[in-house]
């Protein structure tokens, strides 16, 4: 099979339908299905935005960075920019989806206090299991965000008369609605982080540790094929391996070594699935001097040989 014949991971930007003016959008999965094709729903996407998926009914298996995630009513997924995601093949489920630009999180006015929302998202696990009471609360909060986002939009019974669709962004108090959306979303994230966030260090240490992890994360993305040891990154950042591991544990819940290995495995899976590179060429691209060394690493991390993984990924 040629490389061009392989299914691709498609980049997806945040682009709500006009005239929707906000950096956050909420809708039901069932609504998305109605305006999409079955083929589009089965594709694997790499988002350039954040997404929360709250499953409210049914069961399904999503794939996040090519790993299966079993979901049922009460599952809340947090997807970050750059992650690969596939909705899976199950049809008998529904839920709420919250999409937001990264800029929505980084705004200096993203919270009533002026604090950024970004750290709250970073401390949420990729998957949360809400109990029935928590699910009702989450759905209520998401529904409020959904309803508030449609204030002053045309087509609503309570929309102001005389506002034309083309003029909505200029005529409506979008700044006020935007602040309202930020406040509601900040409250939702704060509640989720309080109940289900990863264990955090004292507040005085959080910002420094998050900054250190962000530096590590950026370096890993740039150098994982050249630097295979945590010590390489610690040396560049001027810190100890132990402090780098503490920062990674605080933000991701895993050690720095495990984070680095997962990043290499993710790239290997992408190359095995979406290119025709030989195992030897792929091994070299990832910085492994010998093919056997790469094969042992991949088998240890995934329980598959590279050849077996490629076969299963391209025939499924």
pLDDT tens sequence across 44-76:
898 889 999 999 999 999 999 888 999 999 999
For residues 143 and 140, give the distance between their C-alpha atoms in angstroms, rounded to a whole number: 5
CA of 110: how far to CAs of 102, 103, 113, 189, 218, in Å? 11, 9, 8, 12, 24
pLDDT at res. 19: 81
pLDDT at res. 245: 93
Q: pLDDT digit string (tens) for 277-315?
A: 999 999 999 999 889 999 999 999 999 999 999 888 766
The residue extents of the domains of the chain are 3-196, 203-315
pLDDT at res. 28: 97
pLDDT at res. 174: 60
Instruction: Reduce the DSSP state of residue 277 to 3 states and report it.
Output: coil
Under a CB-based contact definition with an 8 Å cutoff, are residues 213 and 245 in contact? no
Residue from 142, 189, 162, 123 nearest 25 by CA: 142
Q: pLDDT digit string (tens) for 233-249?
A: 999 999 999 999 998 98
Q: Are strands 45-47 and 10-12 parallel, antiparallel or unpaired?
A: parallel
Q: What angle do CA 63, 260, 123 make, to 5 degrees?
A: 65
For residues 300 and 293, give the distance between their C-alpha atoms in angstroms, rounded to a whole number: 11
Neighbouring CB atoms inside 10 A of 298's CB total 26
Q: pLDDT digit string (tens) for 69-111?
A: 999 999 999 998 888 899 999 999 999 999 998 888 765 444 4
Residue from 89, 52, 191 nearest 134 by CA: 191
73-96 in b/e form (b: 16+ CB < 10 A) is: bbbbbbbbeebbbbbbeeeebbbb
Q: Identify any residues that bridge with 95 across adjacent strands, giving them in sequence order.
A: 55
pLDDT at res. 112: 47
Global pTM? Answer: 0.68
Give the DSSP letter of residue 154. T
CATH class of 3-196: mainly beta
Kindly state the average pLDDT of the residues 164-183: 63
pLDDT at res. 107: 55
Q: Which CATH number fits domain 203-315: 3.40.50.2300, 3.40.50.300, 3.40.50.450, 1.10.10.60?
A: 1.10.10.60
Residue from 138, 251, 153, 237 nearest 190 by CA: 138
């Amino acid at each position: 099979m040629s490389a061009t014949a392989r299914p691709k991971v498609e980049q997806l930007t945040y682009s709500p339908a006009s005239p929707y003016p906000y950096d956050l959008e909420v809708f039901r999965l069932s609504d998305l299905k109605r305006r999409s094709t079955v083929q589009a729903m089965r594709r694997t996407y790499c988002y350039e935005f954040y997404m929360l998926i709250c499953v409210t009914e049914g069961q399904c298996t999503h794939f996040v960075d090519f790993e299966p995630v079993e979901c049922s009513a009460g599952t809340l997924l947090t997807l970050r920019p750059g992650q690969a995601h596939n909705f899976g093949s199950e049809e008998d489920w529904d839920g709420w989806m919250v999409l937001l630009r990264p800029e929505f999180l980084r705004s200096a006015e993203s919270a009533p206090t002026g604090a950024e929302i970004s750290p709250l998202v970073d401390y949420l696990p990729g998957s949360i299991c809400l109990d029935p009471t928590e699910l009702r609360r989450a759905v209520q909060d998401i529904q409020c965000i959904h309803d508030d986002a449609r204030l002053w939009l045309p087509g609503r019974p309570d929309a102001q008369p005389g506002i034309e669709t083309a003029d909505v962004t200029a005529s409506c108090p979008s700044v006020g609605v935007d602040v309202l959306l930020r406040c509601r979303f900040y409250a939702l994230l704060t509640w989720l982080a309080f109940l289900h966030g990863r264990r955090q260090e004292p507040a005085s240490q959080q910002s420094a540790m998050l900054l250190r992890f962000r530096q590590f994360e950026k370096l890993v993305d740039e150098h994982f094929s050249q630097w295979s040891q945590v010590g390489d990154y610690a040396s560049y950042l001027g810190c100890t391996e132990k402090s780098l591991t503490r920062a990674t544990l605080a933000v991701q819940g895993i050690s720095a070594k495990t984070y680095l290995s997962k990043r290499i495995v993710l790239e290997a899976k992408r190359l095995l699935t979406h290119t025709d590179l030989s195992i030897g060429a792929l091994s070299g691209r990832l910085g492994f001097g010998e093919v056997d060394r790469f094969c042992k690493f991949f088998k240890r991390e995934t329980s598959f040989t590279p050849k077996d993984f490629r076969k299963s990924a391209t025939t499924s």
